[in-house]
Amino acid sequence: MYAIVEIAGQQFKVEEGRKIFVHRLDASEGDNIEFEKVLLLDTDGAVTIGAPVIDNTVVEGRVLAHPRGDKVIVFKKKRRKGYQKRNGHRQDFTEVEILRIGAPSGTKKQAAPKAEKKEAEAPVAEEVKAEVKSEVKKAPAKKPAAKKEPAEKKAPAAKKAPAAKKETAAPKKETAARKAPAVKKAPAKSAGKKEKE
């Protein structure tokens, strides 16, 4: 019998009596821990896959120690730039012994409050749905009036657009007139050069 569990953001294959190293957990040595995110459970060949987790299944373990991993050298270099950086790192781990895989203790106590909450929320949800339906029925009467107003507003805006174009066209003519004398001067200079030759 084995299970695949998510612990501290990583997935581990666990069996009863097996020891695993996981990233540092907030628990002191000797504490018992329950992992509720069981993704897969294999019981003598019968595989159960969660969607995304399996309900009413827990993996229990005991924290044995908080060791550190081997030192890893982190060396950075940029060639021909005179840049080198050497750094060391030791990862913190937690050693956990798996005690039991199965249903959590006191499952009936946890399941009862969830059912009561759903029953209490059901009447409130029905009231909200009734209010939404009444608002939806009122909405179509307002929409046709709103469509007519924008059509009337668009017509005056279209008349203003050509006037704005005429104003912008006038400065362009002035700039063209300013550039014209500069063009006339250039041929005169070139003509003088040709006569000298």
pTM: 0.50
Q: Classify 83 as helix, strand or coil.
A: strand
**Residues 176-186, mean pLDDT to the nearest whole number:** 54
Q: What is the pLDDT of residue 114?
A: 43
* Higher per-residue confidence, 110 vs 121: 121
- Predicted local distance difference test score (pLDDT) of residue 109: 35
pLDDT at 108: 40
- The pLDDT score that the predictor gives to residue 30 is 93
CA–CA distance from 127 to each of 120, 134, 156 (Å)? 12, 11, 46
Say if strands 72-78 and 83-89 run parallel, antiparallel, or are unpaired.
antiparallel
Q: Mean pLDDT, to the nearest integer, of 50-63?
A: 93
Domain ranges of the chain: 2-104
Helix, strand, coil percent values for the chain (each to nearest 5): 45, 35, 20
Average pLDDT for residues 3-31, to the nearest whole number? 95
Distance CA(6)–CA(17), nearest Å, equals 18
Residue 108 bridge partners (DSSP): none
Give residue-wise pLDDT tens across range 66-94. 999 999 999 999 999 999 999 999 999 99
Per DSSP, the three-state class of 99 is: strand
Q: What is the pLDDT of residue 103?
A: 85
pLDDT given for residue 37 in this prediction:
94
CA dist., res. 105 & res. 140, Å (int): 55
pLDDT at residue 111 in the model? 34
pLDDT score of 113 more than 50: no
Whether 6 contacts 37, CB under 8 Å: yes
Q: What is the 3-state secondary structure (H, E, C) of the chain?
A: CEEEEEECCEEEEEECCCEEEEECCCCCCCCEEEECCEEEEEECCEEEECCCCCCCCEEEEEEEECCECCCEEEEEEECCCCEEEEEEECCEEEEEEEEEEECCCCHHHHHHHHHHHHHHHHHHHHHHHHHHHHHHHHHHHHHHHHHHHHHHHHHHHHHHHHHHHHHHHHHHHHHHHHHHHHHHHHHHHHHHHHHHC
| Structure token pair of residue 97 | 């012994």
- Least confident residue range of 92-101, 110-119, 137-146: 110-119
